[in-house]
Amino acid sequence: MNKLSPALALVLLATAVPSCASSRSQTSPEPLITQEATALNAPERWAFGPETDGEVAAGWSEIIKDDALLALMDEALAANPGLRASAESVRRSEAFLRQSRSGLLPSLGASAGASGSSPFEDADLSENYNLGVSASWEADLWGAISSDILASEYDLVSTEAVYRSSREALAAAVARAYVVAIDAGNAVALSQATLTAQEETLRIVNVRYELGAADRREQVLAESDIASARDSLEQALAAQRSAVRALEVLLGRYPDGTLPIPDTLPAVTDVVIAGQPADLLRRRPDIVAAESSVRSAFANTAIARTGRWPSLSLSGGVSSATSDLGDLVDPAALALSLGIRLAGTLFDGGLTTARIDAAESNGRIALANYGSTVLDAYADVEGRLDDVQTLRNRAGYVETAAENARETLRLAEIQYREGAIDLLDVLTFRQRSFQADRTLLSLRRAQIESRITLYLALGGAI
């Protein structure tokens, strides 16, 4: 028993040192992460934000008041192939984490075998049987395994954040595509109405021509505008079909353009609640992913540094080898084996140092990327808030311009019938009215899209 005392001492050392190593203070990225974010001097309130800075909406249903659109968003989240791939990335990261945690536990193995041999001159076969159970364990002397687990945990957090970002981006894309498809349908209706008006104008021109009140020039001009209106209608129809197909692809459906689309834009909440800039650090998935990447990089640096120190592994087993199958479990045939191995690198040509330098550079890169991500997120929200306010300010002007353009056209058509103005004036006013109405439709679509993109910029649903 005394012969095993040195081995037992090393075993005790192997179990004691990891606790000391894990209790040893390691370089934490926390101060650097905080410093990177605070260096941007973000204000307490958004520069372009609303006066209300309460809690941001927790889900899309609090922003969008359209059951049909919400149902399509749920359909896309369940069927989109790209999102399924992102979900599998999360499962893979979970598997990597379990793989890392297995390093703290011993590995067990078992073996059994039989063999036989006989000289060529003698047909008598000599049989041999063996049975063995073995175990091995590598001590986490310097915290390499623990750091690997930490890195895997942070990688999982990052992957989960990327998955959530993909979900929110897909939901927002469906909402925008839905709005674009409705707007395209409204553009078709506007183009059709314009064509109908142009055809009515040609009818009036023809009547006036037969009466001698109009010349051939006016007929040609009216016919030319009808051709242009028909061309615009074809373009609007093509844009509508393209918009519907784009929405179907997001839903995971075959893009055959048969998805029914309503003609009314979805209702969205008018009150903008954007929270505070500090809230963004915990809401935005890309910021969460970037922060986790920093922490993972620092954990990987700790792993690289352990390459300077030796590793300690223990092994043991019980085996039996006999020529009689019945004696395999006989205590007299059993043999116990114990082993301990302390191994380290004496010279590697600077490989370990280079790995540490590379890992530290990866940490600095991740930290810089985190700062860039935070800055881009702030800019994204400020830009979307500015868009919302700008579109809100424009709404009254555009609506007034459209109403006045329609009234001007109505009066011009009356004057033309009375012979007071030329046909060219009527067609000019009609084109102006069409452009004003189209601008108004685009503005209404943009207002809804701005609310969708703002909510996505704020981090989406949490």
pLDDT, tens digit, 9 for 90 and up, residues 300-342: 999 999 999 998 999 999 888 887 777 777 787 788 889 998 8
The whole-number pLDDT of residue 18 equals: 46
The token pair that represents 298 in the structure block: 């620092």
Please give the C-alpha separations between residue 379 and each of 158, 241, 279, in angstroms, as whole numbers: 22, 34, 14
Regarding the domain with residue range 24-116+124-458, which homologous superfamily does it belong to in the CATH classification?
Answer: Outer membrane efflux proteins (OEP) (1.20.1600.10)
The whole-number pLDDT of residue 159 equals: 95
Record the pTM: 0.83
The whole-number pLDDT of residue 9 equals: 53
The whole-number pLDDT of residue 120 equals: 65
The whole-number pLDDT of residue 23 equals: 38
Averaged over successive runs of 10 residues, the pLDDT of the chain (462 residues) comes to: 50 48 60 93 88 79 94 94 90 93 90 79 74 90 91 95 94 96 96 92 88 86 92 96 96 94 92 89 95 95 92 89 77 85 88 93 96 96 94 94 94 88 88 93 95 94 80
